[in-house]
Chains A and B, each alone.
Chain A
Amino acid sequence: MPIDPLPPEALFTRCDAAAFDFATTDELAEIEDSLGQDRAVEAVQFGIAMDCPGYNMFALGPPGAGKHAMVRRHLKEAAASAAPPSDWAYVNNFEEPHKPKVLELSTGRGWPLRDAMEKLVSELREAIPAMFESDAYRGRRETVDEEFKSLHEKSFEEVQARAKEKNIAIMRTQMGLAMAPLRDGQVLDPEAFHKLPEEEQAQTRRDIEELEQQLQDVMRKAPQWQRTHREKLRALNREMTEYVVGHLIDDLKKRYADLPKVAAYIDAVRRDVIENARDFVPQEQPEGGDAAEAMARRGGPGVVPGGGDAAFRRYQVNVIVDRGGAEAAPVIYEDHPTHPNLIGRIEHVAQFGALLTDFNLIKPGALLRANGGYLILDALKLLQQPYAWEELKRALRSGEVRVEGLGEQLGVIGTVSLKPEPIRLDVKVVLLGDRQLYYLLAEHDPDFRELFKVAVDFDDVVDRTGANTRDYARMIATLARRDRLRPLDAGAVARVIEHAARMVGDSEKLSARVRLIADLLHEADHFAGRDGAKVTTAVHVQRAIDAQIRRGDRLRERIQEQITRGTVMIDTDGAAVGQLNGLSVLQLGGFAFGQPSRITARVRMGRGEVVDIEREVELGGPLHSKGVLILSGYLGQKFARERPLALSASLVFEQSYGGVDGDSASSAELYALLSALSGVPIAQGFAVTGSVNQHGRVQPIGGANEKIEGFFDICRARGLNGSQGVLIPAANVKHLMLRADVVAAAEAGQFRIFAVETIDQGIEILTGMAAGAPGDDGAYPADTVNGRVQAQLDAFADKALRYAAAARGEDR
C-alpha cells in the first residue's frame, strides 16, 4: 500500500501561544531550580545531608545546564541554616619559630584577639620602658650595679694598695696592665734598677711576682662576678617586668579563658615578654646591634628581621579566617584554583638578597576560607593547575590543610621556610564539569570515587509535557527578569520553547541547557531594543535565531553553492539506475547542517561480496562498514536463501574526499543496490536517510531535521517541482522540528517527507514500482522491484554455476 507524505503538522510540533494564560512573562512567577533536573536536585540534597567523609559532589552535565547556579543555590540554603564556623589564626611558636601554631577561635573572635594583642604590645611598649625609667627600678638596679662595682673595685684597690705599699706602679699598657718598680713616684729606669742593691732588686722581683699573682686572681674572678651581676640583673628585670606585665596579660587571658589553646598562647607571650623585656626599651642597644635585630635573631627563621615595629611582629596574630559578622556557613567559589589559591601560600620578603618569611606571611587559600562550609570548583580548571588536584585530594583525605609552598613541597626551593601547624578541615567540595571528565576521573583516578561519592548528574533534555512547557515559560520569565531583559510576550515564549525542542532535535523534548536559552533571550532582547519595542515578540526571537544561523552558516553556503553550480554533482530531478542521494550532517562549532551526497552502486556476477569502496581506501569508519555488511545479510536472506549469492557489488559515496562514518546511509546504499540489481531507475528528486537491519527494517538516525533542510535548500535553489522529498525512518518522525519554510513548502505540496518503516516501502516511493511480496513458492512477482532483483540474482547464480561446471570440465 503506497505511503502518503507526512502531513505538515507532523513536521513541526507547534507550541500554542494561545494556550498560555499570560500576556507577557511579567505575569509569571519565577522558578527556583533548573527545569527537569530532579535527579540532580535530589543528588545535591543527598550530598549536603551526608555528613560523612568522602561525600563530596561532582556535578556533571553539558555546559550551560545551570549546574553552578543550582548547586550554589542549594548550598547557600544549607549554609544559611548552619552556624558560622570557627575563626583561625596563626601565631608565633616561641619555642620553635619555624613551626607556627594555629589557634581555633569561636566565630568572630579572631580579629578581636589580633586587636587585643596589638593593644597589649602597644601598652607594653609604654609600660616596660616606664618601668625601667622608674625610681624603684633604678634604685634597685643601682644597688645591684654598686654591689658588683664595689666587689670589682675593692679587689683591684686592694692590689693597688699593696702595690703602693711595696713601691710598685701598676701601669696601663695598650693591651692590659703591667707592674714596674717605683722610686720617688717615678718608674725606675733599667740603669737605676741595676744600681739597687742585689737584695733590694730580688725583693722587688718577688714583690712584683706576688702582686702579679694577686692581680691575676682578681682578673680570673672578674668573669664570674660579671656573670653573677648579669644574673642578678636578669632576675631583677624579670621580677619588675612580671609586676608590670602581669595584670595586662591577665586581663587578656581572662577574656580567652574558655579557649585553652589561646590561654596557653597568652602564657607563652607572657614568658617571652618577661624574658625579653629589654627589647621594649627603644634606646636600649644590646651588644652587636639594635633591639629589633637582636629580637629577630632570637626569633630565628620564623621571624622576619626588620627595624622598629618589625621587632614586635612575633606578638602579632595572623588571622587567616575571620567570620566576624557572618551568620551562615561559607559558600566559596574559587574561580582560579591554582595550588596557592586553593591551599594557601607562605609569602617571603627579600632582605639583603635573602628570602625570609614568618608566620605573619601565611596566607589562606580557598579551602580554609570555605572551611566549615562549601567550596565550589571547576573540575577542568582544577585539573589544569599543576599539583592543585593532588593537593586537594590530600587535604580531603587527611581532613586537614597544611599550608606549604609548592617550591618547598617539591624540594626545589631551599630557603628557610615554615612548617605551619595543619588546620583541621571540614569542608564539602563540589566539582563542576562535563560528563566525559567525570567518567575519565572515575575510570583512571582510584581516589576519585572515594572522595567524590555523589554524582550530581544534570540532564540535557526535559520532557515536553504540558506541565513542563508551563514551567519552561516560567524559567524563561525568570531568566529575563534576572538578567533585566524586556518581558517576552506569549508568542515569543512559544517560539523560544519551539526552538528549545529544535535544539535537541526532538519534538517531544526541550533543551535543558539554560545558558543557551539565556543567550537566545539576550539576543532577542537586543533585536527588540533595536525596534524600540517594550516587549520581546516572536519576531524578535526568530530574528535572533536567524542571526545565529547566519553567523554560523558560511560553510553551509559554500557547500550548497558547489552543489548548485554543479561542482558537486547532485541530481534533484530525473531518474537513474543505481544512484541515489544520501544525507549526512556536518557539525562545526555550535552549528549543524545537512549535506546531500550521491551514492552509487554497481553490480556484476561475483562471489557474494559487497565492496565498500570507502572502506577499501580507508575513508570509511567501522560503523559505515557494519552498515554495508548488513546489506549482504539482507540480500542473502531475502533473495538467495537456497542458492548462492553470486553477486559482486561496489558502493561508493561519490565526490567524498573526507571520511565517512555512521550507518545512517545504509538504507540509501541498499536502495541504490536494489536499483542497480533490478535496473529500475530511482527518482533523483529524493534523498534518503536511515539505517537498515538485516530484515530490511529502517532504523532511526540522528540529525533528521538538518538532513531534510540540507536537501530542501538544494531543491529550493534549483526550483521546487512537487516531486522532491526526503525519506526518513518512521521512528524519526517524533524528532521533526523543521524550519518554517520547509513546513510551508510541504503544506503547498512542493516538498514531501515520507516516513518509511521498511526497505520495501521506501523502494516503492523511490521507483514508483511495487516492491513485491513473495508468493507461496517464495518467488517475487516478475514486475516488481524485488522480482527483478530476484531474476537478476538468479541469472548471476545460473551463470556462476555454469562457469563453475565448465571450469570443472576443463579441469578434467
Chain B
Amino acid sequence: MNPAADSAGNDTGFVVRRIVVAMDSSPHSRAALDAAAALAARLHAELEGLFVEDIDLFNLAALPFGREFNLATGAARAFDAAALAEQLARQAAEMRRAVAVAAARAHVRSSFRVARGRIAAEIVAAAAAADLLILGAAGMGLTSRFRPGRVALAAAALAPRSVLLLRSGAAIRGRPLVAYDGSPSSEKALAAAARLADATDARVRVLTAEADAKKAEALRARAESRLAALGVRAVFSDAFELTLDTMCGTVQRTDADLMVIAADNPHLQGEGRLHLLQRIVCPVLLVR
C-alpha cells in the first residue's frame, strides 16, 4: 500500500525533492533562505535560489520622467537603467553567494537562477517546477506597519505547489500545528506536518473543530492513526471552529512554531489569505 495515499486512493504524501526559495534583499528573504536550507537538509531535497529582476523597474527607468525618492531624506534623483542593472547584478551576485554558503553549511545541493520579468509571475512559474516554494512573507512596504507583499499574496494564491511563508526572525524547530477536518487536503497537511516534526521529539499538534463528540472522537482517532503510521505522536487542541483566529490563538497559547494548513481551506480564500498574512505569528505552510 502506498503510505502516501489515503483509503480512497488520494495522494496524501508530502514528498519534497526540490525547494525553490524566492529572494530579494529584505531580511525576510534571508530568513527564508536559512529556513529553506535547513528544510532541504531535513527533507533531503535540492535547493534552488531564485532572484527576479523586476521588469517594471526597467520599464520605469526607461521612461523619460523616471525618478526615485530617497526614503530617509526625500531627495529625488533620476532613475537610471544602467545603474539599476548594475545594482541588481550586484544584488544577484550577493544572493548567489549567500545561497552557496547556506547550502554548503546544510550539506545540500544547490543552484541559483536570475530571471527577469514580473516578480509574482516569475515566482509562480518557478514554483510549478518545484515541490515547495519558500518566500519571505513581506517585502519592503511603504510604511512601518506590516503589510504582506503583493508577491507573497500572489504566490499564496497562485502557486501550484505548497508554499512556506515566513518572516524575519522566525525559525522552524519542528513543532507544527496542523488544522485538521478530515478532508483530503487536510490529510495532506497532516502528512506534511508529520514530515516537519522534530526528529527526536516527534509530535504534531492537531487542531480540530468538530461539535459532535462522536465525530470528533473519530476524527482524532483517524489523525492519531495516520500520524502513528508515520511514527509521529499526536497532541490535540480543540476549537469551536477552524477559523484563522482560533489557529493563531492556538499558536500563541502552545509551543507550536509552524502553522500547517491546506491551501484550499475555505478560510484562506480571497481576503482570508490577506487576513492570515497580516496576523501571521509564525511561519505558515500552505499545503497543496
Contacts and interface: CB of A to CB of B under 8 A. Distances in A.
A169 B66 CA distance: 12
Contact of A152 (B57, B63, B74, B143): B143
Contact of B69 (A156, A181, A187, A219): A219
Interface in A172-222: 172-181, 186-190, 193, 205, 208-209, 212, 215-216, 219-220
B69 A177 contact: yes
B63 A149 contact: no
A180 B59 CA distance: 9
A171 interface: yes
B65 interface: yes
Given A216-B74, A219-B74, A175 B145 contact: no
Interface string B65-83: 1111111111010010000
B76 A212 contact: yes
Given A171-B56, A190-B62, A212 B70 contact: no
Interface string A143-175: 000000100110010001000000001111111
Interface in B70-112: 70-74, 76, 79, 87, 91
B228 to A, nearest CB: 41
B143 A171 contact: no
Contact of B74 (A153, A173, A220): A220
Contacts of B118: 186
Interface residues of A, number: 32
B67 A179 contact: yes
A216 B72 CA distance: 11
Contact of A180 (B56, B71, B141, B142): B56
Contacts of A175: 68, 70-71
Interface centre among A173, A187, A190, by most chain B C-beta atoms within 10 angstroms, is A173
A149 B79 contact: no
A367 B79 CA distance: 74
Contacts of A186: 56, 118
B144 interface: yes
Interface residues on B, range: 20 to 34
Nearest to B79: A178
A404 to B, nearest CB: 48
B252 interface: no
B216 interface: no
A212 B8 CA distance: 59
Given A208-B65, A215-B69, A173 B142 contact: no
Contact of A173 (B68, B72, B73, B144): B68
A178 B145 contact: no
Interface centre among B57, B60, B87, B143, by most chain A C-beta atoms within 10 angstroms, is B60
B142 A177 contact: yes
B49 interface: no
Contacts of A153: 143, 145
A177 B66 CA distance: 11
A166 to B, nearest CB: 14
Given A174-B25, A176-B68, A177-B71, A187 B60 contact: yes
Contacts of B59: 180, 187-190
Contacts of B62: 189-190
A212 B68 CA distance: 9
Interface centre among B69, B71, B91, by most chain A C-beta atoms within 10 angstroms, is B69
Interchain residue pairs A-B with the least CB separation, the first 5: A219-B74, A187-B56, A190-B62, A176-B71, A180-B60
Interface of B: 25, 55-57, 59-60, 62-63, 65-74, 76, 79, 87, 91, 118, 139-145
18 contacts: A149-B145, A153-B143, A153-B145, A172-B140, A175-B70, A176-B68, A178-B60, A178-B68, A178-B69, A178-B79, A186-B56, A188-B59, A188-B63, A190-B59, A215-B69, A216-B69, A219-B71, A219-B74
Given A176-B70, A187-B59, 5 more contacts: A174-B87, A175-B70, A178-B79, A190-B59, A209-B65
